[in-house]
Chains A and B, each alone.
Chain A
Amino acid sequence: MSSETRTGSEAGPSPSGPPGAAARARAGTTPTGAVPVELRGVSKSYGTEVAVAPLDLTVEAGSFVSFLGPSGSGKTTTLKMISGFERPDEGAVLFGDRDITSQPPEQRGVGVVFQNYSLFPHMSVAKNVEFPLRMRGVDRSDRSRRVRAALELVELPHVASRSPHELSGGQQQRVAIARALVFDPALLLMDEPLGALDRRLRETMQLEIKALHERLDVTIIYVTHDQEEALAMSDQIVVFNQGRVEQVGTPQDVYDRPRSLFVADFLGESFSISGQVTGGAFTADGDVPLRLDVADVEEGPARSIWRSGSVSAAPRPGERDSWACVPTTVVASAFAGDHLKLKLRVASGDEGIVSVPPTSSVPIAGDALDIYVDHARAVVVSASGGTA
C-alpha cells in the first residue's frame, strides 16, 4: 500500500496553472469559491472485493481533473466517496481544511451531473433547476432570478416551461448541468456526463463544459473512460486501474510519459517492444538490435513504448541517425485513406499497429519491413508492475 503515497505528491501544480484560478482572480477571490479536494488514505471494499485501495489524492481548487479508467477501476467509487454516496472504510475526505468524511451528501453542497441526466420527469425544466434552491430555502424572487441565470448559462432559457422528456439528450444534459450549478457549488462532479450522447454532440458538449469551467469559479472532477475526452478537457488526469491510481499528471504527462504499460495502452495507440532492464540499460528480446539507456526503472522484464509520432516506416533523412531500425514482419495491412495501418510483428514477440504514409506498393502479410523508432522519445516501463 505504501506505493500509493506517490500519487499525492504528483498532483502538484501543473505548469500552466488551473484556468479556474484566472477566473477567480478576475472575479476577486471569494471565500465561497472553488475548493480543493483532498483524499487521505481512503479505501473502499465490497465484501472481499477491493473497489478502491488506500488512495491519496489532491485536487487543486478551481482545476479540472479527470478520473480516467476502465469500468470497475474504482473511479466512480472514488467519486461517490467525494459526493457522499459511499462512506470510505478508512481515510478522510477533505474540502479545503473541512473534514466532510461523515457528512451526508445533501449537506456537502456538491453539484453532481449523472450520465442519464436524472432530471425529475414530473417537474418542468424550470422546476428542476429551481429544486436545489427550494431545498436550501432560497426565497421565491431570488429563486426565479437564479433559475433564469442558470438556464442562460447553458443557453436554454427558452425551454424553461417544457417538460424534460420534450428535450433532446444534449439539452437534457445541459439542463442537468444548470441544475447542478444553480446553487453555486464549490465543486462539480460529473460522472460520465456525455456517455449517452452521440459522438458529434459529445465533442460540442466537451467544449461547452470546458468553456463553463473557464467562466465559473468551480472545481470540476470529471469521470470518464474515454481517453480522448480526458486528454482534451483536463488540467490533470488521474488514471485508475483495478482500484488503484496508476498515474496522476497533466494530459501531456500521462500521454507522453506513461509510468506503466497500462497507462501507455489506455491513453492511446502505442508501439512497444519487450526486453530486459539490466545495469541501467534496456535490451530488447529476440535479438532485436535495440539498446536504450534508462534511469529509475526496476531491473527485470520491461517494455519500451513509442507513441505514433515517434514510430515511422520512413523517417526523414536527417532523423535516420538518431532513430533505431527495427526489423519487423507484416501481419496485416489496411488502407485508411491518408495512411496505411500496418499490424507488425517484432522478433521480440510483440505485435503492434503502426500508421505509415501510403506507398505505391502496399505491403502484404509476410513481407519484411524495417521501421524506425526514436531513441529519445522511447518510454521504458517495468513489465513486472502488476499492471501489464
Chain B
Amino acid sequence: MSLVARVLRPLPVLLIVLLLVLPSLVVVPMSFSSSQILEFPPQGFSLRWYEAIAGNAVWLEAARNSLAVALAVVVLSTLIGAPAGIAIGLWRWRGRSLFLGFALVPAVMPPMVLAIGMYITYARFDLVGYWGLVAAHTVMALPFVVLTVMSSAQLVDPTLLTAAQSLGAKRWRVLVEIVLPLVKGGMAAGAIFAFITSWDEVVVAIYLTDPTFKTLPVVMWNQLRERVDPNVAVVATLLFAVTSLVMAYVVLKGERKKRVQ
C-alpha cells in the first residue's frame, strides 16, 4: 500500500469520529462538572449532579415512564411486527410489496408530521398519556421489527417447511417448531431497535404526553428550555450509556454468532 493510501484510508473514519461522535460525547465530561451551568470545557470534577438526579423525583418518575413505555412498545411491536415480517419474508402473496410499503411508512415519515397527525387523531379518542405514547411509538417501531424479522425469514429455506410437513407437522407446528426458532435472532434485533426507538423519541412524546405523564426526553427538553444546568448532561449521558450498552450487546452477540458459524 502506498503512503498516500495508508494516510487516506482511515480518513473517513476519523472524520466520522471527529464530526459525529465527539460532539455528542462532550456531554459526558460536562456531566461530571462541579459548576452550576452547562459549559465546555467543564470546571472541576464532581458527582454532585448525579446525586442531584438520583434524589430528584421528576427525573426518576420520567425514567420509570420511559422504561414502561419502551417495554410495552417492545412487546406490542414484536407481537404485531414479527408475524408481518414472517408473512412477507417467507411466502409470496398478492399485495405483499404494498403491505411492506405501508408497514415502512412510519420510518420515512418526518417525525413532526407523524406527531401532529397522531396528536390530532389520538386526542379525539382521548388516547393521550401512557397508552397514547405506547400506541404512537409502536407504530414508529414497527418498521424496524418488520424489516429485521423479514430479513431473517427470507433466509429460511422453504424446503425446511415442506420437510417438516412431510414428517407429520401441522401448519401451526411448522410455525412454532421451525419458523420461530429460525427467525428468533431477527425478532431479538427488532425488539432492541423498537426499545431504542421509543427510549429516545422526543418529538411525538412532546405532543402526546401531558403534565402528569412525561418521559425522559420530554423532561430533558423542558429543562433545556428553562435553565441550562449539568442535570441535562447527566441524563443525556445516562441515556447514551443505556443505548450504547444495548447496541454493544447486539454487535458483540452478532460477532460471536459469526465466529461460531
Contacts and interface: CB of A to CB of B under 8 A. Distances in A.
Interface of A: 83-85, 104-107, 109-112, 114, 116, 118, 120-122, 131-132, 135-136, 165, 179-180, 183
Contact of B163 (A107, A114, A165, A183): A114
Given A118-B159, A120-B160, A165-B261, A111 B166 contact: yes
Nearest to B174: A106
Interface residues on B, range: 10 to 19
B168 interface: yes
A9 to B, nearest CB: 31
Contacts of B166: 83-85, 105-106, 110-112, 180
Given A112-B163, A165-B261, A118 B157 contact: yes
B177 interface: yes
Contacts of A131: 164, 167, 169, 177
Contacts of B170: 106, 135
A120 B210 CA distance: 51
Contact of B167 (A85, A104, A122, A179): A179
A165 B257 CA distance: 14
B36 interface: no
A118 B160 contact: yes
14 contacts: A85-B166, A105-B166, A106-B167, A110-B166, A111-B166, A116-B157, A116-B159, A118-B159, A120-B178, A121-B182, A122-B182, A131-B169, A136-B168, A179-B167
A116 to B, nearest CB: 6
Given A114-B159, A120-B160, A122-B181, A106 B169 contact: yes
A135 B261 CA distance: 29
A107 B182 CA distance: 24
Interface in B135-175: 157, 159-160, 162-170, 173
Interface of B: 157, 159-160, 162-170, 173, 177-178, 181-182, 261
Contacts of A114: 159, 162-163
Contacts of A110: 166
B24 to A, nearest CB: 39
B15 to A, nearest CB: 41
A117 to B, nearest CB: 9
Given A104-B165, A118-B157, 18 more contacts: A83-B166, A85-B165, A105-B166, A106-B165, A106-B170, A111-B167, A112-B162, A112-B166, A112-B167, A114-B162, A118-B160, A120-B178, A132-B167, A135-B168, A135-B169, A135-B170, A136-B168, A179-B167
B162 A135 contact: no
Nearest to B166: A112
Nearest to B180: A122
A120 B166 CA distance: 13
